[in-house]
Every structure is written in C-alpha cells, then in structure tokens.
Amino acid sequence: MLLIAAETMLFVGLIGAYLMFRIGSVTWPSAWLYLPIGMTCLNTLVLLSSSYTMQHALRAARAQPSTTPLRFLTLTAALGISFLLVQGYEWLQLIRDGLTISTGIYGATFYTLIGCHALHVLAAVAWLVVVLFLVHRRRATAEHIVACGRYWQFVCALWVVLFALVYLN
C-alpha cells in the first residue's frame, strides 16, 4: 500500500503539471488533432479487461493459492503486454506524424505523462511474470498475488483517469 501511495503522489504531481501547462497555455491542441482516439479506446478496453481477469485471479488466490489463479494471471499478463504493444505502435505513428517530445509543451507533457504510465504497466507486467513463476512452482502465497493484484488494479484505474484527461479533452 505504501508503494501505491507513493505512486499516487507521483501521478498527482504529473497530472498537476499537465493541468498547469494546459490551463496556462494560450493555445492547446485538441487531442483529436494528433491522438488515435478510436484505437486508444479499444486499447483501454484491453486494459480494463485485464483488470477483470486480475479480479478473478484474486478470487481464486484467496480460495486456493496453488495453481488455481494461473490461467487468470496468464491472461492478465497477456492483456497487459497487448496494451503496451498497441501503445508502442500508437507512439510510432504519432512520432511519424510529427508529435514528439520536442514538438512543444503538448508533446512533452503527453509523452511524460503517458510514458510514465507505460513504464508502470511494464513494471506491473514484470511483477506479474514473477508471481506467475511462483504460482507455477507452487511457491506463491495469496499475499504475493494480492499485492501484485492491488498494484495491477491501481495502474488500470490510473489509466482511466489519464485516458479521460489526455485523450478526451
């Protein structure tokens, strides 16, 4: 919970900076000019689906932490990796279309905020892979899975906030 509290403070600061630049800017480009909203909506559904599969893994872990949650954890990891791959593809398209971190304050804040979230999803996937290994070897406890699951739920919930703020302006 301490990690989630620290991460919350980090993102509150990043969101605050984003809002300060956005509110203080004379012109702020609409997200519709640059961002692939449709693809990102579908990608958001992928991440929210992973939250659903993680919830099933948590229920299974609380009932019996041996290998019962294995398939839900595997599916969660696959959905998380899919989310990151689609986001990487989107970034390549945005860079090709001219939106870079040096484009201006819009590009800088976009890549800082969304990139920081992507790094956190990547860290959550790595944690999930470690937990999967422990579950597969029958060494995982319910606490291992619950701690990972809470962090996973945090990065999923955080994405909803970031998606609304950055993509649906």
Given this model, what pLDDT does residue 60 score? Answer: 87
Phi-psi region of 28 (alpha: psi -120 to 50; beta: other; left: phi over 0): beta
Residue 75 lies in a domain: yes
Give the pLDDT confidence of 28-38 residue by residue, as tens digits.
887 777 799 99
Residue 66 reports pLDDT greater than 70:
no
CATH number at residue 120: 1.20.120.80
Q: Does 82 map to a domain?
A: yes
Could you tell me the residue range of the domain that residue 116 belongs to? 2-21+38-167
pLDDT number for residue 33: 78
Q: Select from 152, 132, 14 the least CA-distant residue to 74.
A: 132
Q: How many domains does the chain contain in total?
A: 1
Residue 80 neighbours by CB distance under 10 Å: 26
Residue 33 placed within a domain: no
Position 63 in a domain: yes
Q: Is residue 27 part of a domain?
A: no
CA distances from 78 to 8, 167, 168 (A): 25, 24, 26
Residue 122 banded pLDDT, cuts 50, 70, 90: very high
Range scoring the smallest mean pLDDT among 58-67, 72-81, 126-135, 144-153: 58-67
The C-alpha atoms of residue 75 and residue 56 are separated, in whole angstroms, by 11
Answer yes or no: is 26 within a domain: no
Whether the per-residue pLDDT at 67 is higher than 60: the answer is: no
Q: Does residue 152 contact residue 79 with C-beta atoms inside 8 Å? A: no
Decide if 133 is inside a domain. Answer: yes
In a domain, 102, yes or no: yes
Q: Can you give the pLDDT at residue 42?
A: 97
